[in-house]
Amino acid sequence: MWCDCCSEEKIRMTSKGKTILVTDGDIRSALSIVRSLGRRGFNTIVGSEKEKSLAFYSKYCSKKIVYPSPYTEKSKFVEFMLNFIKQNKIDLLIPVSDLTIYPISERLNEFNRYTKVACPEKSILDKAFDKEETLRIAKKLNIPIPETYFVNKLDGIKDLSEQIEYPAVIKPKFSRYWKNDQMIHGFRKFVYSKSEFIEAYLDLHSQLPFPLVQEFIEGEGYGISVLANHGNPLAIFAHKRIREVPISGGASTLRESVEPNSLMKKYAIKLLKEIKWDGVAMVEFKLDKKDNIPKLMEINGRFWGSLELAVSSGVNFPYLLCQKMLGKVVDPVLRYNIRHKCRWLRGDSEYLMSVLESSDFKWSYKTKTMLDFLKIFERNMSYDTLKFNDPLPGIYENIFYIKSLLLSLVRRLIKG
């Protein structure tokens, strides 16, 4: 249901007086962090570039700050954060998304003078953020990856278009890239023919140079989430993606806790040990339908969007990370509740609409999707944002979404 897995009174610990600053207050993982730490008695300050943000509405948000947008004003964002930390006693800074982690990592030594920062050194961070670097390390470690082509010159693109199998995926080396303080977001592209490949590759190259080319892997998606101490695991959690938006692959809208696949677990730990990762990370795999072998997709070197599933299943990554960063002993957490599901209702609504509007699906599948969507009170189900004991964030998110849908409908009607 929409309640937490255990009572707040039982889990409140002696964390009073400790102040944690959490960035990216408008994303679900930040909300999960704020709730997890607030229930443990931490003072949580929430930062966001928006005046109205998801985690601002949580009863566990003790203070709100609005900073310059790291999308468009990276340098101003960093200066603002440094000045705020200089002027306020902050025990730990948790940058939550790529958008805030990377700018802060570039000046990590300055931040470390005034507070602890839950962020690896930039040299380590690069190995997770740079997809080419990640995949090269995986190949060296004999970790299976999709067939991947590392392009370093354009004059071989035509030959490559005749060599690869279709469909194929073109993806930038970095999901986010800054140019003159302006963030450029890298989107992957699916291509289905030679001519489409060449056009798409050149287009993406013009924005983010020399993207990767990979075979398309059909299969179920899994995540192995880890809290690591310089590569050594302190907590491990595994989940399976059930629904994603967009349908072609993206953020999971419904996912389930599972026992870790032994190979995936082995590969994830091996990879994180190799790069000496420190902190939280989620290593993504796909179980290839062709050979039933897990293939590494990428490392998310940060808190992941489906974090609430781990927390509601019994692995409180935010609290464990705080304990580690604040010098406390962290007892390893390797067991948790399996077959627990967690749902992002807004994203699941978008998934449903995509299926219903698509001509690629039969009505039998559309009907099944609708019936599955209506399982609101399914047993062992919790929700990313909807919580009875902290209702305002979920109400805010879904009212905002309904308003967006209505505006979209009005625009369609006006266009005729």
Instruction: Provide the strand spans (E) within 126-262.
Output: 148-149, 168-171, 176-179, 182-185, 189-191, 212-215, 219-229, 232-245, 251-257
Q: What is the pLDDT of residue 399?
A: 85
For the chain, the structural domain boundaries read 12-119, 121-143+219-385, 147-215
Q: What is the pLDDT of residue 247?
A: 87
Q: What is the pLDDT of residue 315?
A: 98
- Is the separation of the CB atoms in 110 and 223 below 8 Å? no
Q: Name the pTM for this structure.
A: 0.92
CATH topology of domain 147-215: Dna Ligase; domain 1 (3.30.1490)
Name residues whose C-beta falls within 8 Å of residue 114's C-beta, 6 or more positions apart in sequence. 82, 85, 86, 90
For residue 219, the Cα-to-chain-centroid distance in whole angstroms is: 20
Q: What is the pLDDT of residue 263?
A: 97
**Residues of the chain where predicted confidence (pLDDT) is lower than 50:** 1-14
Q: What is the pLDDT of residue 416?
A: 56
202-234 pLDDT, tens digit per residue, is 999 998 899 999 999 999 999 999 999 999 999
Q: What is the pLDDT of residue 401?
A: 74
**Alpha carbon distances (Å) from 212 to 148, 157, 201, 202, 204:** 7, 12, 9, 12, 10
- Spatial separation of the C-alpha atoms in residues 337 and 194, rounded to whole Å: 47
Report whether CATH 3.30.470.20 matches the domain 121-143+219-385: yes
249-276 pLDDT, tens digit per residue, is 889 999 999 999 999 999 999 999 999 9
* Residue range 12-119, CATH number: 3.40.50.20
For residue 316, the Cα-to-chain-centroid distance in whole angstroms is: 16
Q: Residue 84: how many CA atoms within 13 Å on its side-chain side?
A: 23
